[in-house]
Amino acid sequence: MGVLRARVGGTWVDVGGPPGPPGPATPPNAIKNDTSTAVSPVLADENCMTTLSNAAAITITLPSDATQPFAISAEVSYLWLGAGQPTFVAGAGATVGGTPGLKMRSQYSAATAKKIAANTWVVIGDLSA
């Protein structure tokens, strides 16, 4: 593809180049609503916030690279809206850490899962043991 040109004051100037790569499938900072009791992030969830709303306990399973190959430094955020307490767990082949524990502390707590190495996640936010 060629360069986009425009006429400015009688002179042609370059104003753009070929299009870049496509953006993410989900807009950054989008909100996704989830009412299930079993949540597993997918690549399209990166940089999004998932609201969690169910009366029963909710399990958020953070995947290994074999299941969902998130890039190192990827982040997925969660906001607890319902009655059922969310708990983060590691999927097969993955590890997850957080302090003081891996449960969200109370309704309206928020937490972010960040991938820090291959198959390794850390959860940062309003957590409890």
**Looking at residue 83, what is its pLDDT?**
96
Q: Confidence band (pLDDT; 50, 70, 90) for 23? A: low
Q: Confidence band (pLDDT; 50, 70, 90) for 20? A: low
d(CA 51, CA 109): 10
**Residue-wise pLDDT tens digits, 63-112:** 999 999 999 999 999 999 999 999 999 999 999 999 999 999 999 999 99
**Residue-wise pLDDT tens digits, 44-62:** 999 999 999 999 999 999 9
**Looking at residue 17, what is its pLDDT?**
60
62 vs 19: which has the higher pLDDT? 62
Lowest mean pLDDT among 1-5, 38-42, 71-75, 116-120: 1-5
CA distance between the termini of the chain: 56
**What is the full DSSP assignment across 63-100?**
PPTTT--PPTT-EEEEEE-SSSPEEEEEPTT-EEE-SS
24 vs 86: which has the higher pLDDT? 86
**What is the full DSSP assignment across 11-28?**
EEEEEE-S------SS-T
Q: Confidence band (pLDDT; 50, 70, 90) for 5? A: low
- Return the closest-CA partner of residue 61 out of 50, 72, 71, 47: 50
Write down all domains in the chain, each with its CATH number in brackets.
22-128 (2.60.120)
